[in-house]
Amino acid sequence: PAYLTTKYFILTRKAGIAQNKLLEELNTIIPVLKEGLEKAKAGGNVTLVSPTPIKVLIDNSHNQYYNSKQMLKLATNIGSELGWEVKGNDEPLTLDLLKEYDLVIIPNPREDITDEEAQAIKEYVKEGGALLILGDWYKYVNTESLNKVVEEFGITFNDDELMDDEKNSGATYFPLVGEFNAHPAMQFLTNENELYYNGDTLEISGNATWLIRGYETSYAVDGSGNVVKEEGSKPIVAAAVEVGKGRIVAYGSSKALSDAYYEHYIDSNWPFVKGVLLWLVKQS
């Protein structure tokens, strides 16, 4: 029939046009490739354009015990597995400084984060920055400084310590954690993972969501030894929230990212940390 002949003609014409376009593109690309090959053979310089790597800052400016020197395996993993650049920082945290980095890690500060620094950190996140902020157990955790940064976004660091009499790495105050939420940051974790932990618990509200909880057998105590979270309450130890254009993850343990205990802490936590880092910079 005539309509089939017409349809065949149209399809053939479209195929011919597509073929001509492909030939035009190849004629453009082939000379460039040929030139590069000739330069390589002659020992000339061939410039390869690669994506700019993600830049990570680890804050050392608040006299942190767990600073970048205590997190060498973390920096190595970030470089080798993600191809990112990691740098320790000893300068006060300003918005201009923070904006030079895609992701900022703040371990538990032993010296206070100033009001000006806290405001700069919050502005940095709202404008699209990524923040991983870490706590510690009640003797050392600087809840005032940490909460100055994250509390208004629905995350609170508690002045306590997670304990577990049954699931631990040798002592009640060295609990293991392994209750994981279904969240993009948890992509490398399975129910088989158990993470070494030593730190405080968190509270969440608003848009914040929990990432890791303690087991049924875990509980929390304060500095006087009082049980402030009972067994069965599954205290939260990690949480995430989106703020403006940026993202925050809070984790109650700085030690968890460190080289402590023959690197068992960072080794067990790396699947979690890796997923968190990728989520924070919106690559997951």
Contacts of 31 (CB under 8 A, 6+ apart): none
The 3-class secondary structure across 141-174, one letter per residue, is CCHHHHHHHHHHHCEEECCCEEEECCCECCCCCC
Note the pLDDT of residue 284: 85
- Residue labelled with tokens 């000339």: 44
Whether residue 61 contacts residue 94, with contact meaning beta carbons closer than 8 Å, is answered with no
Q: Which of 233, 144, 159 is CA-nearest to residue 201? A: 159
Whether residue 97 contacts residue 75, with contact meaning beta carbons closer than 8 Å, is answered with no
pLDDT tens, the chain, 284 aa long = 544 444 444 444 545 544 555 455 445 445 544 554 454 455 444 434 447 999 999 999 999 999 999 999 999 999 999 999 999 999 999 999 999 999 999 999 999 999 999 999 999 999 999 999 999 999 999 999 999 999 999 999 999 999 999 999 999 999 999 999 999 999 999 999 999 999 999 999 999 999 999 999 999 999 999 999 999 999 999 999 999 999 999 999 999 999 999 999 999 999 999 999 999 999 98
CB count in 10 Å sphere of residue 108: 26
Q: Give pTM, 2 decimals.
A: 0.83
Around 47, how many Cα atoms within 13 Å sit in the side-chain half-sphere? 1
